[in-house]
Structure 1
Amino acid sequence: MTSPRPPSPRTTERLLADDAGIARAANLLRAGGLVAFGTETVYGLGADATNDTAVAGVFSAKGRPQFNPLISHFPDTDAAFAQVQATALARQLADAFWPGPLTLVLPRAPGSTVSDLAAAGLPTLAIRVPAGPVTRSLLARVGRPVAAPSANPSGKVSPSEADHVLAGLAGRIDAVLDSGPCAVGVESTVVDLSRDVPVLLRPGGVSLERLRAVCGPLAHPDDHVHKLPTAPGQLASHYAPDLPVRLDAHAVHPHEALLAFGDELSGAGLVWNLSPEGSLDEAAARLFAGLRFLDSEGRRRGLTAIAAQPIPRHGLGLAIRDRLRRAATPASTR
């Protein structure tokens, strides 16, 4: 099997938050680059949320161990709600707190353009309209949803200044748009509106008291009667195709489709190679599309299972293996 390809070093530009700097940042994002930018909360590491490869680069640059759902950022409410099935309560909260440090989780719209990787394969999206003229000007110029977790190596302190970003990510990203210190300095509040009652997934820049004044009581996932997961993506069934998945396959059987990585096993009539060159970034970007393709085409051809070749146990390989393990969960436990 081909060895995983290491990420290429980058020259990280520091851009001024003027018209030229904002235009350069927008062009980089539209071209699939990674650009950190300041919001009122913390600096986010932005990527075109419609581009699987760009989104995979975010996980790689951060050393993020799992494909957690990423918040997609928009310049205005209309752009944000075009991607989801907005409820009356969502519009009330948006009227009260957007632009601002509030993230809403809602069911995806049928025509949503946000990639499966940014949504972690879930039927919901996390959306936000951040405050600040520089941020909103950047998002408007990009003209696409921008996925942006905090711009720091995974597990490290979130950055509230451009220098913090460069200290952790210089050489891993294309640019940082320096708009000065962040006013709030803590991440946005996250509220899940995809359930029967609103659920507070993360406290943040909008206080619980202010939220309750608009929407009434909120459940906490640890206290909910159905024991909801504390964050999206924790349920084993989220990544499961209809065909059963066999992990760490070193041979492929006649009735199986093959999810390959690197050098392909011989004997498969239906193959999706995550990355012939053994790039974990490329494999991450192609994972969800590959599972969908092998599931639908495999069933059409009368195949009864998917064999997945081994994935390395480091870097993004850990996240890919996690999703494949969930995909292989027996239906009786979903």
Structure 2
Amino acid sequence: MAVELRPYRVCVPDEDLVLLRDRLERTRWPEPAPVPGWAQGVPLETVRELCRHWATGYDWRAAEARLNAVPQYLVTIDGLTVHVLHARSASPGAFPLVITHGWPGSVLELAGLVAPLTARGFDVVLPSLPGYGFSGKPTEPGWGVERIADAWARLMVDGLGYRRYGAAGSDWGTSVSSVLAARDPEHVAGVHLVPPLAGPALSDLGEPTVREREALERMRERGQSSSAYSEVHRTAPQTLGYSLVDSPAGLCAWIAEKMISWSDGGLTRDQILDQVALYWLTGTGASSARLYAESIAKVAGWIDGAADDPVRVPVGGSIFAAELPRPSRRWAARRYPDIRYWAEHDRGGHFPALEAPDLLVEDLVAFFSGIR
């Protein structure tokens, strides 16, 4: 059954931007932490400076224009509206590629990939996850990574008419792309993951290498120092949502903490505020967090070695310098037995489309050129 695509353009009302500035100017700030640095979270001066720039210097209309430079559509799949950017290449025989973002990212994070990828012979499809950006907010449970993957399959085949395509993604996009490949190998030619989500099964892999031990130690440190956000998203997204949807400064602190600490230090204020502003203007602080409640148990199984649903299609993987987790290739091969491409980079972090787009584009081209 065909899926109807309805043309769409982003146009945030001026009054929403005026109200945002007013709320920022009336922020009630907490006192600074009694300890220096980031030991108790993102520092007060960091958030105040970001919010000052958000109110007085940041230009949402420039971000809006970048979105509107790409053809956009709304499509209803399984009862939910999905927002999607779809750019066709002028190259004959272009290869379709659906790229999925995560949290706290968005299609705005990935929009800069459109021009270089279409120039290299790819049709680029960028859907917004349910509950994120301009997609609809689920009103019933069940919109986890499996249902999203099924929706993407319908979008690509029944909506856009592609019979064979590639999938790629980072963060939640890694999980969605993996499930998509496992459930629809008839149409998915291969997946590129940043990085593949896979952990060790030491009982059958023997002694870890030096780099594997380093990766495990960094994951333990991350679990002790900065994983609480994930548990809050998983267990109480509604409770958290009241603050994220009502306070722009609170939303800025929640998102900026991760964008700064998960990157290699190269993100600009405007790159951070692009994501924060999109979540604020669409009111998706609560709805985006609910994806953790729907999916986190499944993803944890992939990481700790209890995974099912092996991915049999060809797989490429990229690991950027500041990224966590940092799986080894042999860990990844347990769930992804047909790894065709593997790259480890000395720069970039969790947001390579913003931090190192040149490296990410070259990895995507190199991997998919081998299977298209």
Q: TM-score, normalised by structure 1?
A: 0.27
Bigger relative contact order, structure 1 or 2 (CA pairs below 8 A, ≥6 apart): 1
Q: TM-score, normalised by structure 2?
A: 0.25
Q: Which has a greater percent of helix?
A: 2
